[in-house]
Amino acid sequence: QGCTQKYIVKNYFYYYLFKFSAALGEEIFYITFLPFTYWNIDHSVSRRMIIVWSIVMYIGQVSKDILKWPRPLSPPVVKLEMRTNAEYGMPSTHAMAATAISFSFFIATMNQYKYPFELGLAAAFVFSTLVCLSRLYTGMHTVLDVIGGALISAVLLVLLYPAWDTIDHLLLTSPFCPLFSIVVPLVLCYNYPKLDYYSPTRGDTTTILGAAAGATVGFWLNNQYSASAHTGTSVQPGHPLASSTMVFVLARFFTGILVVLLTRWLMKSAVLGVLGYRYQFPMGDLQARRRLEVEVPYKFVTYSCVGFTATVLVPLLHQLLGLM
């Protein structure tokens, strides 16, 4: 599984387009776009996207390990990625995430901001299509995997949309929200479907649920002590992008990302250090870090702190620096 086919790039436009598009379905995109939305566009839109994203991704990841459909064989396809090669193929979680994020963003903003409906719909369609096509180009999925992922995500969006406002209200106001947001994802992570060999799906799922849990606790805390997240029965959005100068937008973004990445590094080192002491393994031991009793708490604590930092500590820092 560590070997790749040799290949020659004949069309650099397609090569870089689809490599970039594939990255739009990975952690680097989640850890930038979702916080960017919260810091610069609209709190309510960000909350809805994070909830939809976490639910859709959990269902997609679990479906892979239950169905156990293999990825395309290489040869005949050429695989341009290796990290996810150990995962099963059906459904494509890249396709699911791209569909969920793009269309939930479109649905959540179309009634709050003035822009042509057709333009928003086209942007969501192009974004999700590029990510879906990238999975075919990189040899990681079949057409059926991609179509299945997009359709599952679309169905989940249709089912979740009528309950958006109710879920959002409960997560902001219920006294049980912090407990629910931590306990339920942890139970789901510890009871993730077992495989005969190691796959990064459990770790990726724990990362997603941990980030969503930390962010949800942050949303709730903000609502308890600040009027900026929720007022009465209506949602008061954060600063619209149109009303902020580009300098302030970029300053908020880069300051926030720096703090988020620093938090991830510090928590990762601290949690692995504690777990390494508890289970007697060096921090560089990859096999030990893949064990259930290590992987789940290490990733969940690390990324829940990342989510909490992005929604609570970074906005406080923005206020302190006069960037709001």
- What is the structure's pLDDT at 267? 92
Q: What does the block give as tokens for 133?
A: 């096509």
Spatial distance between the Cα atoms of 324 and 244, rounded to a whole number of angstroms: 9
Burial string for 287-317 (b: 16+ CB within 10 Å, else e) reads ebbeeeebbbbbbbbbbbbbbbbbbbbbbeb
Mean per-residue pLDDT, 216-223:
90
Spatial distance between the Cα atoms of 260 and 257, rounded to a whole number of angstroms: 5
**Are 217 and 178 in contact, with CB atoms under 8 Å apart?**
yes
What's the pTM value of the predicted model, to 2 decimals?
Answer: 0.82
In the chain, the amino acid numbered 42 is: D
Is pLDDT of 293 > 90?
Answer: no
**Owner of token pair 């990064």:** 200
Burial string for 89-100 (b: 16+ CB within 10 Å, else e) reads bbbbbbbbbbbb
> What DSSP character marks residue 312?
I
Q: What does the block give as tokens for 311?
A: 């929604």
Q: List the one residue out of 39, 43, 14 whose CA is nearest residue 227.
A: 43
pLDDT tens readout for residues 165-181: 888 888 888 899 899 99
Is pLDDT of 241 > 60?
Answer: no
Query: Between the CA of residue 258 and those of 39, 226, 252, 265, what are the distances in Å?
Result: 13, 24, 10, 11
Catalytic site positions? 94, 141
Q: How confident is the model at residue 14 (pLDDT cuts 50, 70, 90)?
A: confident
- SS3 for 226-255 is CCCCCECCECCCCCCHHHCCHHHHHHHHHH
> What DSSP character marks residue 83?
G
Quote the mean pLDDT of the chain. Answer: 82
Q: What is the domain partition of the chain in residue ranges?
A: 1-161, 165-226+242-323
Residue 319's CB is within 10 A of a number of other CB atoms, namely 12
- What is the structure's pLDDT at 84? 61
**Are 53 and 27 in contact, with CB atoms under 8 Å apart?**
no
Mean per-residue pLDDT, 134-157:
87
Any idea how long the chain is? 324
